[in-house]
Structure 1
Amino acid sequence: MAAMTGTDELRRVARERFGWERLRDEQVRAMEALMAGRDALAVLPTGAGKSAIYQVPAPLLPGPTIVISPLLALQQDQIASLTARHHESLVAVRLSSAEGKTERAEALEALRAGDAEFVFLTPEQFADPARAALIKALKPSLVAVDEAHCVSAWGHDFRPDYLQLGQFIRELGRPPVVALTATASPPVREDIVERLGMRDPEVVVTGLDRPNLFLESVHCPDEETRWRRLVARLRESTPPGIVYAPTRRATEELAERLAGEGFEAVAYHGGMSAGERERAHEAFLADEVPIMVATTAFGMGIDKRNIRWVNHVSLPDSPDSYLQEIGRAGRDGQPAHVLLLHRTEDSGLRKFFTNVSVDRDEVADLAALLRAADRPLTRDELEEKTGLGARKLGQLLTLLEEVGGARMLSGGKVKAPRWAPVPARAAELAEAQAERQQTVSRSRLDMMRNFAETELCRGQALLAYFGEHLPAICGHCDNCADGSAAAGEAAAGDVPFPIHSEVRHGEWGKGVVLSYAGDQMTVLFEKVGYKTLSVPVVEEHRLLKRVS
């Protein structure tokens, strides 16, 4: 009898220990890379089995698997799912602030003895040098980074604690790394690879189209129209569902107003206490709350399969956020509806949120402090010496790191690299980097507005942002339903530059062609982000040149 191949082994483990008769091709590609000691980046839609990519190979590798994810609730769901398999090779433990000293000691002992395969961590846990040393001693064979878009400053849910992940992985002896996310546009993917120090990763980006989601966008001339549209939709919709609002105050006011109309609605936002958020979360999961009115603080790790609709009452800040948020609907594969109620004024609010001011003097003083220190400094020490708040300090340190003025070390410590630019130059570079980030953020908002206003296929418009090309109209949006998408569909092959080809613009520099729609093309430029250009104008004035 022929010996089993690595792929055969993966399929056997999936079948015998998880009950999965079939693995998707994209899952297998990423798994095979990990089995061969390579890194992998997987961008797969919500509900497409991202966790399986690390769970199936883990029992076949010699050491424990480290799983890093940002939310304790998400970790608890994943641990419960593994525990439900009732197999000794799938035992999972957690090291977090939720466990007491005795529980953490027992978890470590189980890992040392080989009685546990998975250990779940939040990013805050590996900031402790002692904890990092204990984990390194376990000789882990795989590191899985869940919600990996959090590592990218270009991502829609950036977490500064994730910036230390690359250093942490190096300290572990650099085992293979798999980064997992449901949404990552091209610049976010590049940032993830760079920040995690991934080496020639197998990149799997596929299946972001969700045919069971009907996409609809409605322009509302005023707030009263938006309110009437929302109420009308809720009256004809089967719960449960989520209404996304732009601010904490808006969620509370909207939930109260909906309650006055007879709807059972609860507000959820990051300003609530942890206990309040947990109770609201659990009530929604248990179908005790039919309508959750929330900011983007609600969503990551929400594994509720029967959400029938997601309504937005403001323009999201980017297609990244939008795809992540609507991805919570229809996870059971059944039809679901997503509605975007937008106003022209929404863009002004979002631009206000993305406006980041950088004080050169503050950056120069921080850079000088790091250069003058005779040892690495902790964030607490930096807060005390500079008088900056934790959030502001985190922003400035991130900028300094990006321009070579700071280096993040284990244990949350920071130092100036040996060849760091002088403080004045570091401040100048940091200001330029902040301006570039703001330019890209605004270009993403422009893309979101284009999606909301387009009369062409919304599925094609949304996926083009992520570098995916739908060869035909999606068939599950309002524009496809009323025939306007088909009327504006671009002729296949009748384009000046192939999709995904590199081009150069005289002012904006190098870019990548993402899509065509009608007589417009979308290009992602390294310097200025996303731009929608007129194809006739590009051709007439020769605005773009192909980069060989």
Structure 2
Amino acid sequence: MKSTITSLRLRRVARSLFGWKTLRPGQLDAMRAILRGHDVLAVMPTGAGKSALYQVPATQLPGPTVVVSPLLALQQDQIGGLARRGAASLHAVRISSAETPKQREAALEALRDGRAEFLFITPEQLADPKRLEAVKALRPSLVAIDEAHCISAWGHDFRPDYLALGHVIRALGRPPVIALTATASPPVRDDIVERLGLERPKVMVTGLDRPNLFLEANNCATEDYRWRRLQALLAEGETPGIVYVPTRRGAEELAARLRDAGYEAAHYHGGMAAGARETLHEEFLADKVPIMVATSAFGMGIDKPNIRWVAHVALPDSPDSYLQEIGRAGRDGLPARTLLLWRAEDEGLQRYFTGALPSVDELRDLAAVLRADGPLTKATLRERTGLGARKLGQLVALLEQVGGAVTRSGGKVASPRYAPPAAEVAALAVAEAERQQSLQKSRTDMMRGYAEARGCRGQALLAYFGEKLTHACGHCDNCVAGRGVPDDGAVGPFPVHTTVRHAEWGSGMVMGYEEDRMTVLFDEVGYKTLSVPVVSEQGLLVADPS
């Protein structure tokens, strides 16, 4: 009975304050979980109502809701959306670098007085101990982490300041947490749960299949053929569209080549001045730039409904990145195209981007400084070690994972009381980095597998994310060509999502089948594609009840 009353109350709020006559599948379950004090991890495509998951229950909770979001543009969009509802109970304020000290204090005062319900803030602001104390004093009843994949080393938009959010949440009194992202494979989901310290969260993975997106991939024998295939797409005349390239130089050169060929194109990458990036962002959203050639830096905040196509002229680093980037097309629900133009040589570039292993000397020296002088602020650590902010954040995260560092109150980093010696900690951290690098390689392998898929691409892509599609998608090049054979889940020796064990690779989960191949995600070595006949004949895998 209590569950029914809660559901009725949530539906009534959704209808009266937000104008939503119905709630999508899964939304109500997540909202109820929040009101019961449970953590939630929601993986849903943009436009599927992720924000509603925290906005509706927030109105039923006693204290304010803290929304951690990485970009000011994203925050402003959400604040504007709440303001347009016209309800005083949905008033939102922001504390960021864009506000003056007086405006920030006014925002805190509105929250203290109950005149504001939502506080939008970046993780960088919460890294300030004084700011954190001020937010803690508000006694928030819910924390929403938007773009939660940014906390994961596997997330393509990784940001070191997100790493401290687990400590921030505890410092705020450990209210319920909802983590939101549009794309997160099982390793990324596990990383989010671990790094945020989510406690037995309700995990929702829904709606990743986008039937209005046509999925297409072409293996290009030469760069000239890749260029001609891109031109064929552009010749259809539909705009706006995005061309994703792997490097900054590639973005500049391809945009120039397109302009020389008579197309209106601009380029965007992370090496450009902030003002120039902001101007290009606004011009694209205002339909003043028909074709944007960009690196993955052109990502979060591109909530534009009428993008008609997204093309990739190189193999992305993982299906995580790919799903996020193609998901920017067709948000108005109308047909849109996604075209992957890849070459085998692209893999070499991705291997280069993966980078070298961290320096054992730098890890050892950092651990030694923490052991001798900690706890220290990140600023002091940068001075003592000479490390940049990004690298320091990554090395501290590695040390934390192997018990060589811990972040304490005020954001100070220390050596745990019973931490191993610095040299031993450094060796353990390098071993963990090697494991992570192996998993990253497997993610690139899975992207190559998607590109080479001979069956339904929708099934191949969703299997990576652990969402089973039991029928051929019908909206990919292979399905249109009659090659999208349905996967009824009974193709191989183990049902999809069965936990299995390999003598060498350890425990893993069956993610999907394609023809006579099966994909297994192993905890230690990442994704592996195995021959079903060989697995069956040689007994390579056994069910793992643990």
Match of 1:406 in 2: 405
How far apart in 2 are the matches of 1:396 and 1:420? 16
Sequence identity of aligned pairs in percent? 66
Cα gap change, 1:125 to 1:3, in 2 (>3 Å):
closer
Q: The residue matched to 1:208 in structure 2 has which SS?
A: coil
Q: Establish whether residue 264 from structure 1 lines up as the match of residue 264 from structure 2.
A: yes
1:16-31 mapped onto 2 (5 Å cutoff): 16-31=16-31
Aligned partners of 2:34 and 2:40 also within 8 Å: yes
Cα gap change, 1:4 to 1:483, in 2 (>3 Å):
closer
How far apart in 1 are the matches of 2:65 and 2:86? 18
1:109-148 mapped onto 2 (5 Å cutoff): 109-148=109-148
1:215 maps to a residue whose letter is L
How far apart in 2 are the matches of 1:303 and 1:239? 16
Q: 1:500 aligns with which of 490, 497, 518?
A: 497
How far apart in 2 are the matches of 1:296 and 1:451? 19
TM superposition shift of 1:158:
1.5
Match of 1:483 in 2: 482
How many residue pairs get aligned? The number is 544
Aligned partners of 2:492 and 2:518 also within 8 Å: no
Q: Establish whether residue 229 from structure 1 lines up as the match of residue 229 from structure 2.
A: yes
Aligned partners of 1:127 and 1:410 also within 8 Å: no
How far apart in 2 are the matches of 1:113 and 1:195? 33
1:63 maps to a residue whose letter is G
How far apart in 2 are the matches of 1:283 and 1:547? 53
Q: 1:525 aligns with which of 519, 522, 531?
A: 522
How far apart in 2 are the matches of 1:82 and 1:490? 42
Q: The residue matched to 2:214 in structure 1 has which SS?
A: strand
1:420 maps to a residue whose letter is A
1:337 maps to a residue whose letter is R
Q: The residue matched to 1:270 in structure 2 has which SS?
A: coil
Match of 2:210 in 1: 210
Match of 1:513 in 2: 510
TM superposition shift of 1:454:
1.1
Q: The residue matched to 1:537 in structure 2 has which SS?
A: helix
How far apart in 2 are the matches of 1:193 and 1:360? 28
Aligned partners of 2:470 and 2:487 also within 8 Å: no
Q: The residue matched to 2:26 in structure 1 has which SS?
A: helix
How far apart in 1 are the matches of 2:314 and 2:491? 36
Q: The residue matched to 1:510 in structure 2 has which SS?
A: strand
Alignment deviations for residues 210-246 of structure 1 (CA, whole Å, 9 cap, x no partner): 0000000001111111111111111114101111010
TM superposition shift of 1:396:
1.5
Match of 2:201 in 1: 201
Match of 2:473 in 1: 474
TM superposition shift of 1:363:
1.0
CA RMSD of aligned residues (A): 1.3
Alignment deviations for residues 469-489 of structure 1 (CA, whole Å, 9 cap, x no partner): 111111100000001223xx5
Deviates more, 1:46-55 or 1:228-237: 228-237
1:350-361 mapped onto 2 (5 Å cutoff): 350-361=350-361
TM superposition shift of 1:189:
1.0
Aligned partners of 1:151 and 1:158 also within 8 Å: yes
Aligned partners of 2:89 and 2:117 also within 8 Å: yes
TM superposition shift of 1:409:
3.1
Aligned partners of 2:302 and 2:328 also within 8 Å: yes
Q: Establish whether residue 280 from structure 1 lines up as the match of residue 277 from structure 2.
A: no
Q: Establish whether residue 535 from structure 1 lines up as the match of residue 532 from structure 2.
A: yes
Match of 1:441 in 2: 440
How far apart in 2 are the matches of 1:346 and 1:273? 28
1:400 maps to a residue whose letter is L
2:459 maps to a residue whose letter is Q
Cα gap change, 1:222 to 1:3, in 2 (>3 Å):
closer
1:159 maps to a residue whose letter is R
Q: Structure 2 regions of 5+ residues with no counterpart?
A: none
Match of 1:429 in 2: 428
How far apart in 2 are the matches of 1:357 and 1:198? 29
How far apart in 2 are the matches of 1:14 and 1:282? 31
Q: Establish whether residue 88 from structure 1 lines up as the match of residue 85 from structure 2.
A: no
Alignment deviations for residues 376-429 of structure 1 (CA, whole Å, 9 cap, x no partner): 112222222122222322221121111111112344421111121211111111
Match of 2:453 in 1: 454
Aligned partners of 1:164 and 1:410 also within 8 Å: no
Aligned partners of 1:490 and 1:519 also within 8 Å: no
TM superposition shift of 1:490:
4.9
TM superposition shift of 1:330:
0.5
How far apart in 2 are the matches of 1:83 and 1:409? 37
Match of 2:544 in 1: 547
Match of 1:60 in 2: 60
Alignment deviations for residues 426-464 of structure 1 (CA, whole Å, 9 cap, x no partner): 111111011111100000000000000111110000000
Aligned partners of 1:164 and 1:409 also within 8 Å: no
How far apart in 1 are the matches of 2:323 and 2:487? 24
TM superposition shift of 1:176:
0.7
Q: Establish whether residue 367 from structure 1 lines up as the match of residue 364 from structure 2.
A: no
Aligned partners of 1:40 and 1:202 also within 8 Å: yes
How far apart in 1 are the matches of 2:272 and 2:411? 27
Cα gap change, 1:491 to 1:59, in 2 (>3 Å):
closer
Match of 2:69 in 1: 69
Q: Structure 1 regions of 5+ residues with no counterpart?
A: none
Aligned partners of 2:311 and 2:338 also within 8 Å: yes
Match of 1:150 in 2: 150
How far apart in 1 are the matches of 2:304 and 2:488? 40
Aligned partners of 1:90 and 1:117 also within 8 Å: yes
Cα gap change, 1:492 to 1:468, in 2 (>3 Å):
closer
How far apart in 2 are the matches of 1:269 and 1:250? 10
Alignment deviations for residues 86-129 of structure 1 (CA, whole Å, 9 cap, x no partner): 11000000001110011101101110110000000100011111
How far apart in 1 are the matches of 2:409 and 2:233? 50
How far apart in 1 are the matches of 2:419 and 2:463? 38
TM superposition shift of 1:4:
7.7
Aligned partners of 2:35 and 2:61 also within 8 Å: yes
Aligned partners of 2:435 and 2:525 also within 8 Å: yes
Q: The residue matched to 2:59 in structure 1 has which SS?
A: helix
How far apart in 1 are the matches of 2:190 and 2:3? 38
TM superposition shift of 1:85:
0.8
2:130 maps to a residue whose letter is A
Aligned partners of 1:91 and 1:115 also within 8 Å: yes
Q: The residue matched to 1:25 in structure 2 has which SS?
A: coil
1:4-19 mapped onto 2 (5 Å cutoff): 5-19=5-19
How far apart in 1 are the matches of 2:4 and 2:114? 25
TM superposition shift of 1:3:
12
Aligned partners of 2:169 and 2:175 also within 8 Å: yes
Aligned partners of 1:151 and 1:159 also within 8 Å: yes
Deviates more, 1:91-100 or 1:361-370: 361-370
Match of 2:395 in 1: 396
1:297 maps to a residue whose letter is A
Aligned partners of 1:458 and 1:477 also within 8 Å: yes
How far apart in 2 are the matches of 1:354 and 1:75? 31
Match of 2:183 in 1: 183
TM superposition shift of 1:491:
5.9
TM superposition shift of 1:332:
0.8
How far apart in 1 are the matches of 2:77 and 2:226? 36
Deviates more, 1:152-161 or 1:238-247: 152-161
Aligned partners of 2:313 and 2:340 also within 8 Å: yes
